[in-house]
Amino acid sequence: MIKTADLTKKYGDAFAIKSIDLNLNAGDLFGFIGPNGAGKTTTMRIIATLLEPTWGEAYVCDHSVHTAPKEIRRLVGYMPDFFGVYEDMTVVEYLEFFAASYRIKGSARRNRVNEMLEVVDLDFKRDAFANTLSRGQTQRLGLARTLLHDPQILLLDEPLSGLDPRARIEMRNLLRKLGQMGKTIIVSSHILPELADVCNKIGIIDKGELKQNATKAEVIRMVREHLVLVIEPSNSADLEKIDALLNQHPSVQACESGDNSIRVVMKSDVDDYSDLPKLLIQNDIGLKKFSEEELDLESAFMALTKGTSNRM
């Protein structure tokens, strides 16, 4: 659905983005993460055909941004970080105005506007003036406008920026809903943890260069020096027994006991620990919890961009 190759934009001698390679499939929800000024907006504007690259290529549904911008614009919905609303228009009038610009006419236009108000949960504000909405409601109105022509691709630039905690939760839920509708979505943010639970792919960009482009699990795996397991026995009295057993295991580097659980640090070259649960069960140790310790997306970002940016 979206593919870029060596995508580059220069202003004089300065690179806004440099050699960006993306490959997103139908239904992907791609979290584009990086500090302000990292190149997120530049990349999205090129894909939306609002900005020409210095060199490189970008394709949307096999259409090149160089040769088929009109076709791409029919397929793409682009929502900038900040956008204006007309002070003398109600929410319905605002959406009908833009629906008309997409040449949606008559009853089809009214039905489409009503449908989008339902999707973004803004029907209760349909007769309110657009400039009276809260920041979160304004973002949802902008998203409804972006969806009017039923685009296959959504480019959402910082949709969570400036929202209060409740509005952020509502927007994340809305992103999940759009993903379930089969849209291919690029959503950018500098708020690192916000996208972790809604995106299936993550791109980390800094100073115009794509540092990583993978699934969330793969990004985290790249920066984790040692796999860490968290084991909680059914009986806390077994903690000492687990410590003694696993400290002798050739794949274990160290054990760190807590009140009710134990952290097991595996050696750096170990990623298969399938024999450990069996070992514990064979020694009559019941397991309440046996899992990998999670490294959050924020920690992964800081590790991958260590020493390269002080702009956050």
pLDDT for 163-194, tens place per residue?
Answer: 888 888 888 888 888 888 889 999 998 766 67
Here the tokens at position 65 are 């941004």
Evaluate if residue 226 carries a pLDDT over 80.
no
Task: List pLDDT tens digits, range 252-303.
Answer: 999 998 889 999 999 888 878 999 999 999 999 999 999 988 666 666 666 6
List the strands of the sheet with 14-24, edge to edge.
Answer: 14-24, 2-11, 55-60, 63-64
CATH architecture of 226-292: 2-Layer Sandwich (3.30)
* 86: confidence class by pLDDT, cuts 50, 70, 90: confident
Distances (CA, A) of 93 to 4, 108, 113, 128, 276: 37, 15, 9, 10, 63
Tokens 């687990």, located at residue: 242
Residue 312 binned pLDDT confidence (cut-offs 50, 70, 90): very low
Say what the pLDDT of residue 238 is: 93
Comparing CA positions, the residue from 230, 180, 214 lying closest to residue 301 is 214
Taking phi over 0 as left and psi of -120 to 50 as alpha, with beta for the rest, 90 belongs to beta
Query: Which CATH class name applies to 2-222?
Result: alpha beta
* In the predicted structure, residue 88 carries a pLDDT above the cut 90: no
What residues does CATH 3.30.70.100 cover in the chain? Answer: 226-292
Point out the least confidently predicted range of 9-23, 139-153, 167-181.
Answer: 167-181
Given pLDDT bands bounded at 50, 70 and 90, which one contains residue 4?
very high
E strands of 128-257, at which residues? Answer: 153-156, 184-189, 201-206, 209-214, 228-233, 252-257
Q: Which amino acid is at 298?
A: E
- Tell me the average pLDDT across 105-126: 94
pLDDT at 170: 87
**pLDDT digit string (tens) for 37-84?**
899 999 999 999 999 999 999 999 999 999 999 999 999 999 998 877
In the predicted model, what is the mean pLDDT of the chain?
88
Domain with CATH 3.40.50.300 in the chain: 2-222
Return the pLDDT at 193.
67
Q: What percent of the chain has pLDDT over 90?
A: 62
What tokens does 213 get?
A: 């482009």
Structure confidence at residue 311 (pLDDT): 37
